[in-house]
Amino acid sequence: MVDASKLQQQQRKPSADTFLPLSRVRTIMKSSMDTGLITNEVLFLMTKCTELFVQHLAREAYTATCGETLKYEHLSQLVNKSKNLEFLLQIVPEKIRVHEFQEMLRLNRASGSDEDDDDDESGSESESEAE
């Protein structure tokens, strides 16, 4: 399936047009940069790159759907198994049911482990704000 996606990318005609708005991408880039200067060329490349990423994500996740609707679960599964998508683990986490979570907590306590996984949510939230 990697070959197929590569093929599709190569078939795509190179072009100097972007779909995503450059100004928005600039804002996003500035939110993470300590130096303020972003050349137009870099901005263009980043925008293109983000577009490719969106399509890559959609295409790869879709291969798991067997032709049905692309759902959140397909994405979180993909993120979970792809090494290069590790940075998204907190952004696209696997959903778990409340009773599964309670079961996990119960098991944790039963095994006497004192590592706290319960503030996972607040942790990821403060992290995304910090970025």
Q: Which residues bind another protein (CB under 8 A)?
A: 2, 5-6, 8-10, 12, 14-16, 19-21, 24-25, 27-35, 37-42, 44-46, 48-59, 61-62, 65, 67-72, 74-76, 79, 83-84, 87-88, 91-92, 128-129, 131
Q: Is 47 exposed, middle or buried (0-12, 13-18, 19+ CB in 10 A)?
A: buried
Of 59 and 108, CB closest to another protein: 59
Task: For the chain, state the CA radius of gyration.
Answer: 19
> Which of 12, 106 has the CB closer to another protein?
12
- Comparing CA positions, the residue from 86, 76, 75, 107 lying closest to residue 118 is 107
| Residue whose CB is less far from another protein, 81 or 116 | 81
The rounded distance, in Å, linking the Cα atoms of 19 and 125 is 29
